[in-house]
Structure 1
Amino acid sequence: MSAKIMRLETMVETLQEDLKNFGKGKKKDASLALPRAPAKFTCKGHKSAITCVAFHPVYSQVVTSSEDCSIMVWDYDEGQQEKKLKGHIDVVQHVTFNQDGKLLASCSADLSIKVWNVEKALCVKTMKGHDHTVSCVEFIASGDRLMSCSRDKSIKLWDVQSGYCLRTIQGHRDWVRQVKITPCSTLFASCSIDHTVRVWDFKKAEEIITFRDHKHVVDAIAFSHERADKVLLKHVHGTNGSKEAEAKTAGSNAKETSSPYTPQFIASASRDKTIKIFHIPSGAMVADINGHENWVRGVLFHPSGKYLLSCADDQTIRVWDLEKRFRCRKILEDAHDPFVTCIDWNMSRPVLASGGVDNIMKIWECS
């Protein structure tokens, strides 16, 4: 009953705020667009649960991976399947594009990492070296290397062209669920079944800090970006900011920096039903977000920097307001049945994709 009351209160607050900000004669800021129900497209094709969704950085395509061992490429403008990539012989755990979208990397419970030419639907490289399920893979910004993490407790760095493993990084005590790399490639982070989130120096491959605040498996992490940092620094230095906070974000009002930015925060999603946000330089936890009623599976920062999005096994996708004490801004009810496994935001256009245990990928328009 209390959960239902909280959801109704969230709906009322959202409507009141929308009326105040975007009432008669007021133009809505497109940069603040949020996903709205119902979903524009419900895409069926996979025979088992969807494990990951990833938007193409240039074209109107979104890629899904699944427990049915396949990868599918979809046109999100039409909601139609374009291609199917076959090659893995066990669950495909994760997919990711390089910066120009010419290459796609995938990883699997078959212990392999594959690199694909998506246009030709062709596997151009297969990498092997992990001793157990490979759970996540990410390209370095330059595109010539990628990182992977595994149930064998390790993180590996690979050369894309040769397929050789360049480095193996140890530290976690159990299955490493995800690895993420900053755009500037100075830091990377990992999360694990060992309940920790770890941030590492990329060049030295040395651990910088470990966050041990979760009480259960940490399934997903996301680095912040410059706009989000500007909002979150207020929670570190006070609501009105400070000279230090202002110095770190100076000029970002007028113009975003063109060079790659080093994020100051990391968000984590856990099976303890919480989302936490940590300030990397100080090691402080700035947010402990409660609201989901089951395991939280995915988390990402909204491009505006004002919101955080999450998905969970409670069938919902939720939007959290970073400016207003991390309260729940919006809930997409019954997004998937029974569990929402993954979400991704299209950085070219305001569109959200989600995947679920129901074998379905959904496209959500934002406004």
Structure 2
Amino acid sequence: MASVLEDPALERHFKGHKDAVTCTDFSPNCKQLASGSADKSLMIWNLAPKARAFRFVGHQDTITSVQFSPFGDLVASSSRDRTVRLWTPSIKGESTVFKAHTATVRSVAFSQDGHRLVTASDDKSVKVWSVQRHCFVYSLTQHTNWVRCARFSPDGRLIASCGDDRTVRLWDTSTKHCINCFSDCGGSATFVDFNSSGTCLASSGADSSLKIWDLRTNKLIQHYQVHSAGINSFSFHPSSNYLISGSSDSTVKILDLLEGRLIYTLHGHKGAVLTVAFSRAGNLFSSGGVDCQVLMWRTNFDTKSYQEVLQQHSRRSTPDPAPHLADIHPRGPHLHHPKPRAIQISPAVADTQSADPHVIELGQAACRSTLLNGGSHSLPMQTAVNGQHSNSFPAHHAGTSGEERWREEESINQPGASSGSQTGGGRGRREEEEEEGRGQTQPLEVLSGHPSCLDTTLRHIVQQLDILTQTVSVLEERLTLTEDKLKECLLNQSQILGVVRSSEERRETGSEGTEGSAEDSS
């Protein structure tokens, strides 16, 4: 195995967020990458060279989770502002708002068919929503503390959830009952997900452990202790042969699940790594962290194609559906510690494709929102002013690192924190610092030599030109698609005409033959 491994390589980095990057996800066709941040904005990075990026503004607090729908036509995001939004990942920037929970929404995920959403929240509940009807369906409420993450199984029959009550729960979506509970977590369970076949379930913890259970036997089959700090996110490779994890120890680890060992350690981030995600094809993966960067890596180490892996599984003698982790040895509980043979990769963080993309700001003028779940009014849309967005952290943290701000916000939002400290003096200090910040920025406008209104007008004109350019490109793409469809229709029509003519010729030939045989017989 070691002879065919190639090192993963940093392919691109994206700079545009103004605070910690908390979540990332690739579109199904791998043409876009979505990222959410503590700066309250959702970024859609178009992966084509020199393509523009979109910044969607609407959430009123940190975005905690983001995911493309299975068909790529929607992007779901969750936030500390207690809402979930469904975005159209295009220049239109339209969004629909779900007033989802009574506390921070920690995660959002689509079902495999794209019809349902599952959300997890600090209100200790897991909720399921209808995407098409834009309505709440049902709740799952047996967790006794914050729920950090919830995911559908690939077949949609199960939901897995985990949280600060140190449990991983498995739910039956038809009966709405909790059918299993794994309670051997050493600390808060931070993330949970199924492998691609739904035969195994993995969870990560604040105690830096990562565990994998076989759902057919309900037994722990692998236990990794390879990080030196809590794991914030992980992602299965589509083949289920590999897993990547991001940790507060500033590293991304790559595990070979078939061999049960750590194979790579990546050091591309400065500070905690909060999110990692494989693309749907598995040839790319992303990572984001408190350094405000989104890094895109090329896998390289998976030299075997997924189809070859499937063919190998199909030749196995066991009747279990492929692919799965039944080939992992040993099958019993086994603790894997990091070993010196893991390859350390410390790349120079540089964009190998293009310069930083131009960002199109989509604020109040471009985003239409409708608040659902009745009774409440829509939250006011956040508008981009001169390209700046207010952060979700106090202004007096401007000189501190992103990781320190992230840790402080997490400590403020702990269940035991007093509400008085959050709503009283803290808010007063924030207002004072914002006033000081405004006082410091005024001289900059005077020194620029142009009236601030002129700068704003020019920026607005540039943004409108960018939107027109993007609209023209979209129209060109649609025209090209129309031409392709027309050519396809003409080709099909000619083929059908050819078939009809050939059948008519056969009929004529057959009738002539029948007449000739009749004359001969007479």
| TM-score (normalised: structure 2) | 0.55
> Which protein has the bigger helix share?
2
Q: Tell me, what secondary structure is at the counterpart of 1:122? A: coil
| Inter-partner Cα distance in structure 1 for 2:163 and 2:143 | 7
Residue type at the aligned position of 1:338: G
Number of the residue aligned with 1:166: 137
How much has 1:203 moved relative to structure 2?
A: 1.5
Number of the residue aligned with 1:329: 263
1:160-184 superposed Cα distances (whole Å, 9 cap, x missing partner) = 2332211121011111001111121
The answer to whether the aligner puts 1:282 opposite 2:217 as a matched pair is yes
Number of the residue aligned with 1:299: 234
Structure 1 residues 79 and 188: CA distance shift in structure 2, 3 A: farther
| Inter-partner Cα distance in structure 2 for 1:83 and 1:34 | 33
Number of the residue aligned with 1:315: 250
Q: Tell me, what secondary structure is at the counterpart of 2:120? A: strand
Structure 1 residues 53 and 60: CA distance shift in structure 2, 3 A: same
Is 2:34–2:66's contact at 8 Å kept on the other side of the alignment?
yes
Number of the residue aligned with 2:57: 86
How much has 1:56 moved relative to structure 2?
A: 0.5
| Inter-partner Cα distance in structure 2 for 1:87 and 1:35 | 39
1:263-302 superposed Cα distances (whole Å, 9 cap, x missing partner) = 1211111111110111223221111111100111112222
Is 1:157–1:166's contact at 8 Å kept on the other side of the alignment?
yes
| Inter-partner Cα distance in structure 1 for 2:172 and 2:86 | 25
| Inter-partner Cα distance in structure 1 for 2:41 and 2:128 | 24
- Which of 139, 153, 177 is the matching residue for 2:148? 177
| Inter-partner Cα distance in structure 1 for 2:14 and 2:100 | 34
The percent of aligned pairs where both chains have the same amino acid is 30
Moved over 6 A (4+): none
How much has 1:119 moved relative to structure 2?
A: 1.9
| Inter-partner Cα distance in structure 2 for 1:128 and 1:163 | 11
1:182-227 superposed Cα distances (whole Å, 9 cap, x missing partner) = 121011100101111111111111111111111111111120123x
Name the larger-Rg structure.
2
Residue type at the aligned position of 1:347: R
Instruction: After superposing the two structures, state which structure 1 stretch, 77-86 or 45-54, moved more.
Output: 77-86
Q: In the TM superposition, what are the counterparts of 1:210-359 in structure 2 within 5 Å?
A: 210-226=181-197, 263-324=198-259, 326-332=260-266, 334-348=267-281, 350-359=283-292
Residue type at the aligned position of 2:119: S
Number of the residue aligned with 1:135: 106
How much has 1:138 moved relative to structure 2?
A: 1.0
How much has 1:136 moved relative to structure 2?
A: 0.6
Structure 1 residues 327 and 79: CA distance shift in structure 2, 3 A: farther
Structure 2 alignment gaps of length 5 or more: 301-522
Residue type at the aligned position of 2:171: W
| Inter-partner Cα distance in structure 2 for 1:108 and 1:142 | 24
| Inter-partner Cα distance in structure 2 for 1:349 and 1:210 | 30
Q: Tell me, what secondary structure is at the counterpart of 1:40? A: strand
Is 2:231–2:248's contact at 8 Å kept on the other side of the alignment?
yes
How much has 1:51 moved relative to structure 2?
A: 0.7
How much has 1:323 moved relative to structure 2?
A: 2.1
Q: Tell me, what secondary structure is at the counterpart of 1:152? A: coil
How much has 1:348 moved relative to structure 2?
A: 3.0
Structure 1 alignment gaps of length 5 or more: 1-16, 23-32, 227-262
Is 1:35–1:365's contact at 8 Å kept on the other side of the alignment?
no
| Inter-partner Cα distance in structure 1 for 2:29 and 2:230 | 32
Aligned length: 300
Q: Tell me, what secondary structure is at the counterpart of 1:185? A: coil
Is 1:43–1:80's contact at 8 Å kept on the other side of the alignment?
no
How much has 1:359 moved relative to structure 2?
A: 0.5
Residue type at the aligned position of 2:204: A
| Inter-partner Cα distance in structure 2 for 1:316 and 1:68 | 23
Structure 1 residues 151 and 287: CA distance shift in structure 2, 3 A: same
Number of the residue aligned with 1:7: none
1:34-81 superposed Cα distances (whole Å, 9 cap, x missing partner) = 7624x2212111011011000000241100000000000112343865
Structure 1 residues 204 and 307: CA distance shift in structure 2, 3 A: same
| Inter-partner Cα distance in structure 1 for 2:14 and 2:251 | 18
| Inter-partner Cα distance in structure 1 for 2:50 and 2:23 | 17
Is 1:111–1:133's contact at 8 Å kept on the other side of the alignment?
yes
How much has 1:320 moved relative to structure 2?
A: 1.4
Q: In the TM superposition, what are the counterparts of 1:79-158 in structure 2 within 5 Å?
A: 81-158=52-129
Structure 1 residues 35 and 124: CA distance shift in structure 2, 3 A: farther
Structure 1 residues 302 and 348: CA distance shift in structure 2, 3 A: closer
How much has 1:362 moved relative to structure 2?
A: 0.3
| Inter-partner Cα distance in structure 2 for 1:141 and 1:366 | 24
| Inter-partner Cα distance in structure 2 for 1:121 and 1:339 | 33
1:292-342 superposed Cα distances (whole Å, 9 cap, x missing partner) = 001111122222322222111111111112222x2111111x221111111
Residue type at the aligned position of 1:187: L
Structure 1 residues 314 and 205: CA distance shift in structure 2, 3 A: same
Q: In the TM superposition, what are the counterparts of 1:204-215 in structure 2 within 5 Å?
A: 204-215=175-186
1:64-113 superposed Cα distances (whole Å, 9 cap, x missing partner) = 00000000011234386511111101111111111110011111111111
Structure 1 residues 54 and 159: CA distance shift in structure 2, 3 A: same
How much has 1:353 moved relative to structure 2?
A: 0.6
1:105-128 superposed Cα distances (whole Å, 9 cap, x missing partner) = 111111111111112442342111
